[in-house]
């Protein structure tokens, strides 16, 4: 009886985007609670594992991209910690005090953290592009000091770009829609959405597509040249050149490309719905919930890709 009354409290006082009628609202709220609690646990456990591996494996710090991968791991870990807010709100009855401020802060923090992940993916692609196109001057161009400055700028930029949402100009995302105030009173704005797309989503996607296209193009050319040399001069020197050529860089780029591809596959439905809803073309609470938490699940998927793509 106590559990039943708690579930009824959840359904009555919290926004249940997937609910279709009072009878189904309780079942839907239980489903939402299970999804959010499970994702919260997986995100926190997975990224703690990644951070622990980097802490216990000093050799990984020799890779310049480790700075960005660790930054992404910390950002995703904070995403999981932030998800404790809706988790605790679903598991325990919330009094609704300062609900508007709570969901605004929650939506802002999640948006900033995912912006950091997106910017880090773009920086990783630029780093790999420089490593392959300028191998001789790479160490002079990419230094630990410059990497740290770049990471600081990423955090500052991510914090600033979503700041207008606190002054009534639009809504950064649907991450807070588990709260009723966020779902019903905090509306999106087409201009603010366009602002975010033009200054964050589109530039990051363009940089990633440009760099990886040229990375694989260059690697393909080098592989073809090495094969031609082997065919003409089958010697140990050519074999050694082939082994120490661009194949390790290409494999490494493939791992990072998978991470980037999964990121955009999971985030594309969210971005598309965000644009459509902001333009008042489509408004569907079920799609809002599903696309939002599908995008947030990416914070755990990175950990799986690391382990499946590279045993080291």
d(Cα 90, Cα 179) in Å, to the nearest integer?
9
Residue spans per domain, the chain: 30-229+249-310
Q: Kindly report the CATH class assigned to 30-229+249-310.
A: mainly alpha
Is residue 38 within 8 A of residue 86, CB to CB? The reply is no
d(Cα 106, Cα 85) in Å, to the nearest integer?
8
Q: What is the dihedral of CA 213, 216, 221, 226, to 10 degrees?
A: 170
Q: How many CB atoms lie within 10 A of CB 231?
A: 9
pLDDT, tens digit, 9 for 90 and up, residues 249-301: 666 667 777 777 888 888 888 888 888 887 778 777 778 888 888 888 888 88
Q: What percent of the chain has pLDDT over 90?
A: 9
pLDDT, tens digit, 9 for 90 and up, residues 165-178: 877 787 887 666 66
d(Cα 128, Cα 108) in Å, to the nearest integer?
30
pLDDT confidence of 159, banded at 50, 70, 90? very high
CA distances from 312 to 4, 47, 57, 125, 179 (A): 48, 17, 10, 20, 42
Given a cut of 50, whether residue 245 has pLDDT beyond it is no
pLDDT confidence of 6, banded at 50, 70, 90? very low
């Amino acid at each position: 009886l106590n559990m039943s009354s708690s579930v009824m409290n959840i359904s009555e006082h919290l926004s249940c985007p997937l609910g279709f009628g009072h009878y189904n609202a309780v079942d839907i709220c239980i489903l939402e609670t299970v999804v959010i609690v499970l994702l919260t646990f997986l995100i926190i456990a997975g990224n703690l594992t990644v951070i622990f591996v980097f802490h216990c494996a000093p050799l990984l710090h020799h890779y310049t991209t480790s700075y960005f991968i660790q930054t992404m791991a910390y950002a995703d870990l904070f995403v999981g910690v932030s998800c404790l807010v809706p988790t605790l709100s679903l598991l325990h009855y919330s009094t609704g005090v300062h609900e508007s401020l709570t969901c605004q802060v929650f939506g802002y923090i999640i948006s900033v953290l995912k912006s950091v992940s997106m910017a880090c993916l773009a920086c990783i692609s630029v780093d790999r592009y420089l490593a392959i196109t300028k191998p001789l001057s790479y160490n002079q161009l990419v230094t630990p000091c410059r990497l740290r400055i770049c990471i600081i700028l990423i955090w500052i930029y991510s914090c600033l770009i979503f700041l207008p949402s606190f002054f009534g100009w639009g809504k950064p995302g649907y991450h807070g829609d588990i709260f009723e105030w966020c779902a019903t009173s905090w509306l999106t704005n087409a201009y603010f959405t366009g602002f975010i797309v033009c200054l964050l989503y589109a530039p990051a996607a363009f940089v990633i597509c440009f760099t990886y296209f040229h990375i694989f193009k260059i690697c393909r050319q080098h592989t073809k040249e090495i094969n031609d040399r082997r065919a003409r001069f089958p010697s140990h020197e050519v074999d050694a050149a082939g082994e120490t050529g661009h194949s390790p860089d290409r494999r490494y780029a493939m791992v990072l490309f998978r991470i980037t591809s999964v990121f955009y596959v999971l985030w594309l439905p969210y971005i598309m719905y965000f644009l459509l809803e902001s333009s008042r073309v489509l408004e569907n609470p079920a799609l809002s919930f599903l696309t939002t938490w599908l995008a947030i699940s990416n914070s755990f998927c990175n950990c799986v890709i690391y382990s499946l793509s590279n045993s080291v």
